[in-house]
Amino acid sequence: MSNEKIEHAALPATPAGERAPGKEHTLAGLLGPAFVAAVAYVDPGNVAANITSGARYGYLLVWVLVLANIMSVFIQYQSAKLGVVTGKSLPELLGERMGDAGRFMFFMQAEVIAIATDLAELIGGAIALNLLFDVPLFIGGLIIGVVSTVLLRLEGGRTHRIFEKTVIALLLVIAFGFIAGLFFDPPNLLDVAHGLIPRFTTSDSVLMATSMLGATVMPHAIYLHSTLVNDHYTPGQSKPPIARLLHGAKIDVVWALLFAGSVNLCLLILAANSLYGMTGTDSIEGAQHAIVTVLGPVVGTIFSVGLLASSLSSTSVGTYAGSEIMRGLLRIKAPMPACRLVTLVPGLVVLWFARNPTEALVISQVVLSIGIPFAIVPLMRYTHDKGVMGKWANGLLQHILFIVIAVAIIALNALLIMLTLSGQA
């Protein structure tokens, strides 16, 4: 594809007699997609990991979380860039370059990732409802499934901006729910700053850091972000030039991931400051109980509300990603409720039979780790391919940086998988 064709594809002509829209050409009109993708970084799995890290090691691993967030900014921008320049999603580009057997096999692993993602979000939401209203876990999962399906009805077309705003509103609720405890028990800023110095104390802290860094990239967030930047505009709507879109995407990603990273950092700081040394915080229920014990029931309730918002937003975004994976790889545009059922039913089965849902959540994170290379390697390849990206392809330095980050993430996830399967994690 030539540069001229790429430019033309990103800037459709305005029909004669119509006035070119102006609002979406402003910076504010360009923002939104990255905030939807950022929800993946404040899901229930990350909540449990950050609280466990702070409660066990205090401020020791603050620097790990900061480094992980910087890596996530780079990866998510690459996904947004791919979507902006090509006008296509990563699954769509993969589907165009694979044979029938390859597309089906790739779809199967990606769909397993989507199911594992939804499992974690569903468990988190069910636990939140159980903590707030003593709802049985299975019933709580059903409620999360129904509400998230209603939310997904807003996705696509003229209501897509409403979907974006709803998810961003939930993101704000998540932030308030997870950082409220800091106002009741403020941390020492010097201690927090000391945590920015890279260091370890024990082999266990190295393992925890590996887990935190390895979970930096969420496969479904990579697949979806390349779609979100295009779904941000309704079909036929005038778009700004590619250079303007990329500028907006860069700001969008930095702000969104900075926000999500700050929420995660606040969770770790909250645990380090108020829960340090307490046992039982390696499960969501245990973390909430510890917060209630130390900071009181009001803060515990606010935390549970944040967890509920995290589940609702994350599970909706995960299903959205699953729908795009199916459309791009199999070229099937399935109704969103059908896609919701595909990812919802396995989670409900786990909630019905599992004795310890938190263990299922841990297993789902391992499955997510297995899927990371399948998302990150094609993204790295396509963003460096001038045949795909034209003049917007990554230069040598950017590509080398991408390789370093990709190798680090994949290696850390491989290590985490081996340690988990051997029982050491």
- Whether 378 is covered by a domain: the verdict is yes
Residues 137, 357 contacting (CB under 8 angstroms): yes
- Whether 151 is covered by a domain: the verdict is yes
Q: Residue 153's pLDDT band (boundaries 50, 70, 90)?
A: confident
The residue-averaged pLDDT of 81-89 equals 97
- Whether 36 is covered by a domain: the verdict is no
Q: Which has the higher per-residue pLDDT, 46 or 366? A: 46
- Whether 25 is covered by a domain: the verdict is no
Q: Where are the beta strands (DSSP E) in 164-214?
A: none
Please tell me the distance from the alpha carbon of residue 371 to that of residue 76, in angstroms, as a whole number.
16
Residues 296, 317 contacting (CB under 8 angstroms): no
Q: Residue 82: is its pLDDT beyond 60?
A: yes
Q: Residue 2's pLDDT band (boundaries 50, 70, 90)?
A: very low
Specify the CATH number for the domain of residue 352. Answer: 1.20.1740
Q: Residue 24's pLDDT band (boundaries 50, 70, 90)?
A: low
Q: Residue 23's pLDDT band (boundaries 50, 70, 90)?
A: low
Please tell me the distance from the alpha carbon of residue 233 to that of residue 228, in angstroms, as a whole number.
9
Q: Residue 376's pLDDT band (boundaries 50, 70, 90)?
A: very high
- Whether 298 is covered by a domain: the verdict is yes
3-state class of 334 per DSSP? coil
Q: What is the pLDDT of residue 127?
A: 94
What proportion of the chain, given as a percentage, has pLDDT over 90?
A: 63
CA torsion angle 28 31 35 38 (round to 10) = -140
- Domain residue limits at 336: 3-13+42-421
- Whether 7 is covered by a domain: the verdict is yes
pTM to 2 decimals?
A: 0.90
What proportion of the chain, given as a percentage, has pLDDT over 70?
A: 92
Q: Which has the higher per-residue pLDDT, 49 or 211? A: 49
Tokens 């799995």 belong to residue: 45
Residues 336, 155 contacting (CB under 8 angstroms): yes
- Domain tally, the chain: 1
How would you class 255 by CB atoms within 10 Å of its CB: exposed for 0-12, middle for 13-18, buried for 19 or more?
A: middle
Q: What is the pLDDT of residue 289?
A: 92
Please tell me the distance from the alpha carbon of residue 282 to that of residue 191, in angstroms, as a whole number.
23
The residue-averaged pLDDT of 244-252 equals 95
- Whether 22 is covered by a domain: the verdict is no
Q: What is the pLDDT of residue 95?
A: 95
Of all residues in the chain, what percent are helix, strand and coil, respectively (each to 5)?
A: 80, 0, 20
How would you class 4 by CB atoms within 10 Å of its CB: exposed for 0-12, middle for 13-18, buried for 19 or more?
A: exposed
Q: Residue 106: is its pLDDT beyond 90?
A: yes
Please tell me the distance from the alpha carbon of residue 128 to that of residue 125, in angstroms, as a whole number.
5
Q: Residue 358: is its pLDDT beyond 60?
A: yes
* Tens-digit pLDDT profile for residues 284-327: 889 999 999 999 999 999 999 999 999 999 999 989 999 999 99
- The string of DSSP letters for 258-323 reads HHHHHHHHHHHHHHHHHSTT-SSTTSHHHHHHHHHHHH-HHHHHHHHHHHHHHHHHHHHHHHHHHH
- Whether 21 is covered by a domain: the verdict is no
Side-chain half-sphere CA neighbours of 226 within 13 A: 29
